[in-house]
Structure 1
Amino acid sequence: WLDKLRRWADEGRPRRRVRVIHHPPTDYERYACDWGYRHNVTAGELVRVLDLAEQAMPRELLYTPGDWSIIDGQQIVKMHYEPDGQFRGAQLLDTQHVQQQHRIAADAAWNAAVEFTAWWDSHPEHHRSTGRAA
């Protein structure tokens, strides 16, 4: 996975992600940050955090609830999770109107969110015991 992220970044098409963090963060959200995003950013993924304890949800996101991805600027894939936050599956959203709504929401989320590393470094209370300094 990290090799793919590096290759995409080297090709000039880095993966971008905005993670909405609830308050308090679920165990799975903390896990994703510590064991996933922390490593992904070193491989070239551009990750930002929208912490709902620190800022309001942009109104554009109210029309596109849930977790979803835009693949190569074209396909919209909605993610589905268990109540505890674990990934369950994905669904392709293919109507033009829905795709446009998601592109607008993605831009709003990206602009409202903060860079992952800065957010993570300012929240050591969310770090798991990983054997590294918090």
Structure 2
Amino acid sequence: MTSSSKTLSDLFDSFQREAFRLETLDDYSKSGNVDAYQAYLAGESQPENYNAGWVDELRSHTESGKRVYRVHILSRPLTDYLRFELGWGYRKNMTGGEEFFILDVTDKPNPLAGVPDFWCFDSGSVAVMNYDGTGKYLGSDVLDPGRAAEFTGYRDAALTAAQPFSDWWAEYGA
């Protein structure tokens, strides 16, 4: 599936206008922030410097006029991991300018069933994120630019059906 010498990291370093992420899993607990997730489960308070590196990167993009945003497809009740990701991660990342949307498919069909997690940069470059059955990140595949229109279509469909995270969180979150 990889058809480019560029990596996901290269795409993050070089995008000019926007970086969009679609998240589809209920559990990414094996992919990073494992210690923070365990602290969350233990009832500890969020450390002040939680996700500081990512927030700094986000801020460097958003302060230069770039947009970083994502849609997470989920259903209720939330898994422990999603409560952690949304409560600690999303709310913290928003301080760096990242925008979040929720496509809640509780009691309705998922309009993007079978679509993988991906990042889309400037509507022209796509990296599909690969995970095992436990939510462990296995790497990404940068797709041929000819497939970008397919994934911008997924992005647009997700955004059309989603609602802003803050609105959704006020109703269903905390």
Residues 23, 91 of structure 1: alpha-carbon distance in 2 compared, 3 angstrom cutoff: farther
Q: What is the Cα-based RMSD across aligned positions, in Å?
A: 2.1
Higher relative contact order (Cα pairs below 8 Å, separated by 6+ residues): 2
Matched, 1:118 2:163: no
Matched, 1:80 2:130: yes
Residue correspondences, number: 121
Q: Extract unaligned runs of 5+ from structure 2.
A: 1-53
TM-score (norm 1): 0.77
Residue 28 of structure 1: aligned partner: 81
Residues 27, 34 of structure 1: alpha-carbon distance in 2 compared, 3 angstrom cutoff: same
How far apart, CA to CA, are the structure 2 residues paired with 1:79 and 1:89? 6
2:67 is paired with a residue whose SS is coil
Matches within 5 A, 1:87-106: 87-96=137-146, 98-106=147-155
Residue 28 of structure 2: aligned partner: none
Is the CA contact 1:18–1:113 (under 8 Å) kept in the aligned structure 2?
yes
TM-score (norm 2): 0.61
Using the TM superposition, give the Cα deviation of residue 79 of structure 1 relative to its aligned residue in structure 2, in angstroms: 1.1
Residue 128 of structure 1: aligned partner: none
Residue 37 of structure 1: aligned partner: 90
Is the CA contact 2:120–2:127 (under 8 Å) kept in the aligned structure 1?
yes
Using the TM superposition, give the Cα deviation of residue 69 of structure 1 relative to its aligned residue in structure 2, in angstroms: 1.0
Residue 57 of structure 1: aligned partner: 110
Matched, 1:107 2:156: yes
Residue 127 of structure 1: aligned partner: none
How far apart, CA to CA, are the structure 1 residues paired with 2:120 and 2:144? 11
Q: Which runs of 4+ in 1 moved over 6 A?
A: none
Residue 29 of structure 2: aligned partner: none
Amino acid at match of 2:157: A
Is the CA contact 2:125–2:145 (under 8 Å) kept in the aligned structure 1?
no
Using the TM superposition, give the Cα deviation of residue 37 of structure 1 relative to its aligned residue in structure 2, in angstroms: 1.0
Residues 79, 29 of structure 1: alpha-carbon distance in 2 compared, 3 angstrom cutoff: farther
Amino acid at match of 2:90: Y
Is the CA contact 2:125–2:143 (under 8 Å) kept in the aligned structure 1?
yes
Based on CA coordinates, which of the two structures has the bigger radius of gyration? Answer: 2
What is the CA deviation profile of residues 99-118 of structure 1, one whole-angstrom value per residue up to 9, with x for unaligned ones?
21111110111121111122
Q: Extract unaligned runs of 5+ from structure 1.
A: 125-133
2:58 is paired with a residue whose SS is helix
1:122 is paired with a residue whose SS is helix
